[in-house]
Amino acid sequence: MRNTLMIAAVASGLALSGCATDPYTGQQTLNKSALGALAGAAGGATISKATGGDKTGRDAAIGAALGAGVGYYMDRQAKQLQQQMAGTGVTVTPNANGNIDLVMPGNITFSFDDASLNPSFRPTLDKLASTMNEYNQNTITIAGHTDSKGADAYNMKLSRDRAYAVANYLSARGVASNRINVVAYGESRPVADNSSEYGRQQNRRVELTVNAPNSVR
């Protein structure tokens, strides 16, 4: 019972400290630090119970501290990326899993039907590489996508080549290759209607996900 009350107290304190009020809607939300801390507290308590530990409250507090550290790390990184990518055409969106999604539209990254990076886009990738090197405890997933024009196999190869073009550029700028995972989806994951040119343009993209680490040093 005492451990349950301690966990509840930890969670309550974290929720209160991590609340932010949206100035436009008045709605309160939790930042990543608080969300990470809550997840860490729950995880620490669960592991303690599963292993027969009698210090569930202590383990919940330790887990909360670790989770808060990861959340703070990701919050800072997201803000820096949003500032760096402003005006570039790249969107930066923290997602519900605690990761950060970047979408690079095809019209600014590559010429049509080509996997060579546009020279004008390289300064944007230079900024991204700088942040990835500063925050070097994340792994990165780079996914290539195309529209539905052309054969499936051709589009799959094009999406893979484009994802690798981004990955190789980041690696050449110092981002460790063992942190980068490349996947190709071809035309299989559209975000818009392929029947219009506007929709096809939205579907031609590279998505980069900055994955939250389990802990930060």
Radius of gyration of the chain (CA): 21
Instruction: Annotate 145-212 with DSSP letters as a single string.
Output: E--S-S-HHHHHHHHHHHHHHHHHHHHHTT--GGGEEEEEEETSS-SS-TTSHHHHHHHSEEEEEEEP
pLDDT at 37 over 60: no
pLDDT at 66 over 90: no
> Which is more confident, 50 or 148?
148
83-93 average pLDDT score: 97
Average pLDDT across the chain, whole number: 81
**Most confident segment among 17-21, 24-28, 80-84, 213-217:** 80-84
Amino acid in the structure at residue 73: Y
pLDDT tens for 157-175 read: 999 999 999 999 999 999 9
Query: Kind and range of the H or E element at 80?
Result: helix 56-85
Give the pLDDT of residue 210. Answer: 98
Long-range contacts of 150-156 (CB under 8 A, 24+ apart): 152/186, 152/187, 155/186, 155/187, 156/184, 156/185, 156/186
> Which is more confident, 32 or 86?
86
**Most confident segment among 25-39, 62-76, 192-206:** 192-206
Whether residue 175 contacts residue 132, with contact meaning beta carbons closer than 8 Å, is answered with: yes
The residues of the chain that CATH labels 3.30.1330.60 are: 87-211
Q: How confident is the model at residue 217 (pLDDT cuts 50, 70, 90)?
A: confident
CATH number of the domain located at residue range(s) 87-211 in this protein:
3.30.1330.60
pLDDT at 151 over 90: yes
Rounded CA separation 127/125 (Å): 5
